Amino acid sequence: MIIGLNLVFILTNAQDKTKVFQLITNEVCLANWKGVHEIIANNRDSLKGTEYYPRILNIEADCMFNLGRLEKAIEISEEILKTEKLHIQKVKSERQINQSDLYSQICNQGKSWVQLYFYECKNTSKYRACFRLAEIEYKNKNYLNSISYLNQTDTKYKFQRRINSHGNWEEKTKALLYSKNYEALQDYERSVEPMFRFLLEEKLPNDTLASSRINYLYREYLGEEKLLQLKKKIIESLEIENKLVSDYEKSHDYSCGEIEIYKTTSVKESGRVLYTKIEGKRFEILRYNDVAEYERHLDLSRRKKNKWRPKSNKELLRIAKKELLRINIYKN
C-alpha cells in the first residue's frame, strides 16, 4: 500500500501528463494491476480530456480482468465499444511517432510492447475491448456468446497492426480462443480448423502454439491415427501452380486511420507458387520468382558463358517438401 500512496502523491503534483502515462506503463510492465488502477482512478478527470484515454480505458479493463473483477471489465469494455468519437492523436508518419517523447521514453526502457496501448489505430482499441468480452464469456462458460464476440473481431472491429509491429500473436491468440470454445462445445473438428493457418509458419523451437494445440486435440479426441494421416496428407498434397509474369508498381500502404505512410516499389511478379492442402484449404509453402532469379544470375551467366536455367518443378517440389518437414508438427 505504501507504493500506491507514493504513486498518488507523484501524480497529484505532476504537471506533465506524459509522466502519468509513463507511470501507468511502468506499473503495467510490473503487472502491478492494483497500482495501475490506483493511478487511473486518482487521475481520471485529468486523463479524460487526453487523446490517450481510450487506450487507458483498455488498460483499466485489463486490470479488472486480471484482478478477477469481471463485471467491471465488461462495463469498461462495453463503454469503449459504444464510444463513437475516440479522442486520438493523429500521427502522420513513422518519423513523428519515433520522435514522440512518450514513445522514446518507453522504448528506451525496453518496454516497447506497452506503447501499443498508446499508439494504435482507433479500431484496434475497439478490437481489444471486443476480444476481452469474448475472453470473459469463455471464462463464464457462455461459449456461443464468446464466439459471437470473436466473429465481430473478424468483421466489425478488425485488428489493425501498427507499423513496425512484428509477428501475428493477436491472430494466433484469437484462433486459440475460437478453438477452446469449440472444444468446450464438443465440436472437435471445428476446434482444430482455426489453428491450421498458423501450423505451417511454426519452425522455431519456441513457436509451438498451433502445433501443440493440434497435437493435443487429435490425441485427446480425434485419434492418433488421424493425426498421422494429416501429417502424411500435408506432404502428399503438395502442388505447383504457374503464375503469369508481370511488372507493376506495388504500393505499401501502412495507413490505418491515423497513420498514413505510403511507399511504392517496382515489383516483378514470378512464375511459380507451391501449395499444400489441409482439410480442403490451400496454404502457400514456397514462391519461386523466375524473373528475379533470371536477373540475379544474368551477369554471372554471361561471365561464365553458361546458359542459366530455372529450377525444374520436380526440384521445387523437393525443396517445398523439405520446408514442410521443418515445421514443428513433424518434430513431435
Please check the confidence at residue 234 and state whether its pLDDT lies above 50.
Answer: yes
Model confidence band, residue 94 (pLDDT cutoffs 50, 70, 90): very low
Among residues of the chain, what percentage have pLDDT more than 70? 67
Span 1-22, mean pLDDT? Answer: 49
Produce one character per residue of 188-198: b if its CB has 16 or more CB atoms within 10 Å, e if not: eeebbbbbbbb
Q: Which residue has the cell 475516440?
A: 86
Q: What is the structure's pLDDT at 137? A: 97
The Cα 129–Cα 321 span in angstroms is 41
pLDDT tens, residue by residue, 292-304: 777 777 665 555 5
User: Structural domain boundaries of the chain?
Assistant: 2-156, 239-312
What the block records as the C-alpha cell of 127 is: 478490437
CA-nearest of 75, 63, 73 to 24 is 63
Read off the pLDDT of each residue in 179-206 and give the average, rounded to a whole number: 93
142 is written with which cell numbers? 457462455
Q: What is the pLDDT of residue 210?
A: 93
pLDDT reported for residue 113: 41
Provide the pLDDT for residue 84: 62
Q: Can you give the pLDDT at residue 244? A: 56
The residue that leads in pLDDT, 138 or 46, is 138
Q: What is the mean pLDDT of the chain?
A: 77
Quickly state the pLDDT bin for 132 (edges 50, 70, 90): very high
pLDDT tens digits, residue range 259-278?
333 444 455 556 788 999 88
Q: Where are the alpha helices (DSSP H) in the chain?
A: 2-13, 17-29, 33-42, 44-48, 53-66, 70-82, 94-99, 101-108, 122-139, 143-155, 169-184, 188-199, 209-217, 224-236, 290-304, 313-324
Q: What is the pLDDT, as a whole number, of residue 309?
A: 75
Query: pLDDT tens digits, residue range 27-63?
Result: 888 889 999 989 888 888 878 777 667 778 888 999 9
Find residue 240's DSSP bridge partners. 274
pLDDT of amino acid 85: 56
Enter the pTM of the model.
Answer: 0.76
